[in-house]
Structure 1
Amino acid sequence: MTAQPQQQPRRRPASSGAPPPPPPSAFRVPGALRRTNLVSLPDGYRASVEPPVTSDGFLGEAFVMDSQEFLCWLSDYYRDDIVTLRLIIRMMGMQKPGGTVEATQSRLAELLKVKQSQISRSLKDTGSLGVTAKVKAGLYQLHPRLSLRGGRVPMEPRPGTRAQGTLKVDQLSLLDAIEDNPDLPGAFKELRQLPDPEEKPLREDKTRAQARAAKKGRTS
């Protein structure tokens, strides 16, 4: 009895208009995730491993970039101060890598369509809490525990070199730099916790307005 050759099954012709199948997902291929952790480096190169970019614990215990916890606190604490609330949100949107905001008080007042005196008052209040700090005229810093835009910033060239490189900024490195900077206000350097919004007293002008309203109600 002779062996008969096995007949190959017929295949349907592929449709010319059908898109190519998607590449296999790393989560469906056994061992793919382990393989992605292997990095081949050329001779003479080395790599370093850095910890996850996070803070040492603050409010929600895991603060990275624009924290939802801070936005919630902001809306509660400045519920009676719409100018300061709008100002911080605007500065969060304007910040450059590293959390710096390049704008004068007059420019901020122009953007918010308020008086410059209101901007000055708001920055004084947020500065006393450690939320913001004035670095120099026209340059402010948002605290990296609360709000941070990561990225790379220009680096001053070293003595004897003309090339100017860039430096990667993250939350932990900025927190270390703040502690080592003697020019920053103490409230900004020592920020560890924000006040409870429920314990915040009304602004003086709000208190006076309530007193006038109460007095008017007694005389009418």
Structure 2
Amino acid sequence: MTAQPKKQPRRRPAPSALPPPPPSAFRQPGALRRANVVNLPDGYRAAVEPPVTSDGFLDGDFVMDSQAFLCWLADYYRDDIVSLRLIVRMMGMQKSGGIVQATQVRLAGLLGVRQSQISRSLKEAGRTGLVARIRPGVYQLHPRLSLRGGRVPIEPSPGMRAQGTMRVDQLALLDDIAGNPDLPEAFRELRQLPDPAKKPPREDKARAQTRRTRKTKDGTS
């Protein structure tokens, strides 16, 4: 009897290939060589946060505005359209940290009003604590009310090869404002906005009303 060849054991079919992993920037050729690697000491951890700007907004800017402040603006400046337009315009012009770089002449040109009206509105906003004058042509909106996030340049310190940047943090900015004696007290101590119902009449309107009252009394006497 001739020997029969041994039958090879039946092999199970190979499992279906797994789907390819989703695309990732780290899987691109040379990605690891280009990535920034930070070695943290034991016991420390790091967090990665997205930029504070977003393409979903018009012009790609992201600004934090207090809803209560916007409602207050509409009520407080109900009889002062110039001041209302000025504050809203400055909210839209602000850079990171709430900084607005514009002279009174430029602001007057943008709003199409007289410079004296801009000066009056800025003084009132300063007394209320909405705006602080940092230096001529540079103002700052209070971060409790409106703040544009982002990164601001910082002067290079010894050992730095180039100028760096610093991320604007609202709480840190509030601490800096509270401890800066050069800023107006109303700006540093702002915790609550005045009641719109108790707003005193504008100085120019009060003077005009006084003149009309005097003319009426003189005409009837």
Deviation string for 1:64-91 (max 9, x for gaps)?
8111210110111111111111100000
Structure 2: segments with no counterpart, 5+ residues? 1-21, 23-36, 49-62
Q: 2:45 maps to what in 1? A: 47
Which 5+ residue runs of structure 1 have no aligned equivalent?
Answer: 1-22, 24-41, 51-63
CA-CA distance at 1:139 after TM superposition: 0.6
- Residue identity in the other structure for 1:164: Q
Identical amino acids, percent of aligned pairs: 68
Per the TM alignment, residue 207 of structure 1 is displaced from its structure 2 partner at its CA by 2.5
- Displacement of 1:162 in angstroms is 3.4
Q: How many residues align?
A: 168
Tell me how far 1:43 sits from its aligned partner.
Answer: 7.7
- Say if 1:115 and 1:158 are closer, same or farther in 2 by CA, change over 3 A: same
CA RMSD of aligned residues (A): 2.5
Q: Deviations over 1:132-156 (max 9, x none)?
A: 0011111100000000011111111
**Aligned mates of 2:138, 2:146 — CA distance in 1:** 16
What corresponds to 1:157 in structure 2? 156
- State the 1:44 CA deviation: 2.4
CA distance in 1: counterparts of 2:202 and 2:162, whole angstroms: 51
Q: Give TM-score scaled by structure 1 length.
A: 0.69
Aligned to 2:124: 125
Contact 1:99 1:143 in 2 (8 A): yes
**1:111-162: CA deviation from partner (whole Å, max 9, x where unpaired):** 0111111111111110111100011111100000000011111111102433
Correspondence for 2:170: 171
Separation in 2 of the partners of 1:43 and 1:209?
66
| In structure 1, distance between residues paired with 2:203 and 2:180 | 33
User: Higher relative CO (CA 8 A, sep ≥ 6), structure 1 or 2?
Assistant: 1
Distance 2:205 2:102 in 1: 29
Query: TM-score w.r.t. structure 2 length?
Result: 0.68
CA contact (8 A) 1:179 1:189 kept: yes
State the alpha-carbon separation in 2 of the partners of residues 169 and 47 from structure 1.
21
Q: Could you tell me how far apart the structure 2 residues matched to 1:75 and 1:66 are?
A: 14
Report the equivalent of 1:55.
none
CA distance in 2, matches of 1:182, 1:49: 34
Q: How does 1:32-181 map to 2 (within 5 A)?
A: 44-45=39-40, 46-48=44-46, 65-181=64-180
Tell me which residue corresponds to 2:28: none
Structure 1 residue 170: Cα displacement:
2.3
Q: CA separation in 2, counterparts of 1:66 and 1:43?
A: 34
* Corresponding residue SS for 2:139: strand
**CA–CA distance in 1 between the matches of 2:47 and 2:174?**
19
